[in-house]
Amino acid sequence: MKRTRQAHRTRLTREAEQLVRLATGLANSGSRTEDRFWEQRLAAQVEKMLKAGNEDAVGAAQEHLYSANMRACDELADALEAYCEGARISTAEGEFEVLLIAVPVLAWSRFVVPTGTVPSAALNDLRVHLQAHVLAAGTRLGLADSLFSIDQLPRGFCPTLALARDLWAVAAAGKNLRIDPRQMPETANFIADSRYLLGAVAAPPGGPHFRWQESDATRESVDAQWRAQGGQALPAALPACAFELLLPDAFFTACRNADRELRPYSLRAGAAFLQTSCNLEASALKVVLAPFQEHDLMEFRVSFAIDESGEVAHGVVWPLLEGETDAAAAAAEIEAVLREAGVGEILTLEQTFPFEYCDDCGAPLFPNATGEAVHVEAPEDGAGGSGHLH
């Protein structure tokens, strides 16, 4: 997930300075032996600060390292994520190594891609398929009974840790965690979006969590099995949606993977949406794409038109993610996805636009063929579009 960067310099507290020092020591370490020295101290400092709910100081340390030392910034992120994701816990039934996981799904709908409580029969089916195809033998699974959108996932390390602790506890007992849907924030409605089932896996200390850690499986074989079998339970949780399952993994890795995979999926879904709602062939679609930039953030905005009017019927945002800086490579990737989807015309504008949004509704503006940033005008018979009446 993208970290939001503050434009101003935050003054570091003593605790944040300590994080910076330890992460920098680890980044510069010359041996595994020295690594362990720094890792232990960094983990202890992370634990102390997250237990105290000191999110702001952690964020300030990350912000500082982002411009001062990228490798140290990555080491700090690894230490923070590791502490929020995994732990060793003791229960009446013994010791477990617990790991927070996410099960990402990409979905699109002419109506609404749902969030919230998953029907209990569907949740139980998902549990059975996860244990049969994705998790290692002898593990226990705790599942939250909700589908989360990206803006319903816990924001920040301390809230992630709080949810992880609840899931670790139910994982050791092999139970589900009830999430009160009234506690979940409202989510923006997109035609195509990602959804997440969250859970935790409890394994005996030193044992594998995932099926691909066992000697007779690979990530590829698990991925294929999961895509083939895991989807059987989903139509009940995602009515009126087309969907694609991604490989479940540790929480942060799975979320990053979903961010990346959602981009081409949204382009394919956009083309499919216009084809079904306007009764067109993909070859009738005309696409314009251009880079939009603000400070160090860049995204491509991709416009779909269905006729010669120049009106934008649908728009998809393709953000450049953490570590991506090559705009030409992103444009080439977008063009390749669109060509594969059978889109008739693709125009890539040379100019870079500033981030522009509608003053009335806040929707992003999209480039048209004459090089202006304009509002999306959803086709009249297209359900799912919000319409543009202002």
For Zn ion, the binding residues (CB under 5 A) are: 358, 360-361, 363
Q: Output 291 or 385, the one with its CB closest to Zn ion.
A: 385
Shortest Å distance, C-beta 255 to Zn ion: 29
Angle at 136 between CA 130 and CA 142, to 5 degrees: 50
Q: Output 148 or 304, the one with its CB closest to Zn ion.
A: 304
| C-alpha distances out from residue 200 to 19, 84, 168, 207, 217, Å | 28, 12, 6, 15, 21
Q: Output 332 or 363, the one with its CB closest to Zn ion.
A: 363
Q: Output 1 or 363, the one with its CB closest to Zn ion.
A: 363
Q: Output 168 or 366, the one with its CB closest to Zn ion.
A: 366
Shortest Å distance, C-beta 386 to Zn ion: 8
Shortest Å distance, C-beta 316 to Zn ion: 17
Shortest Å distance, C-beta 368 to Zn ion: 15
Angstrom distance (rounded) from CA 158 to CA 49: 9
Tokens of 287: 């696409």
Q: Helices marked H in 94-191 — which ranges?
A: 120-133, 157-173
Q: Output 105 or 376, the one with its CB closest to Zn ion.
A: 376
Tokens of 6: 């503050």
- Please give the distance of CA 378 from its chain centroid, rounded to a whole number: 26
Angstrom distance (rounded) from CA 163 to CA 305: 43
Shortest Å distance, C-beta 373 to Zn ion: 12
Shortest Å distance, C-beta 315 to Zn ion: 12
DSSP notation for 232-276: GGHHHHSTT-EEEE---EEHHHHHHHHHHHHHHHHHHHHHHHHHH
When CB distances to Zn ion are compared, the closest residue is: 358
Q: Are 16 and 58 in contact (CB under 8 A)?
A: yes
Torsion over CA: 228, 85, 187, 316 (sign): negative
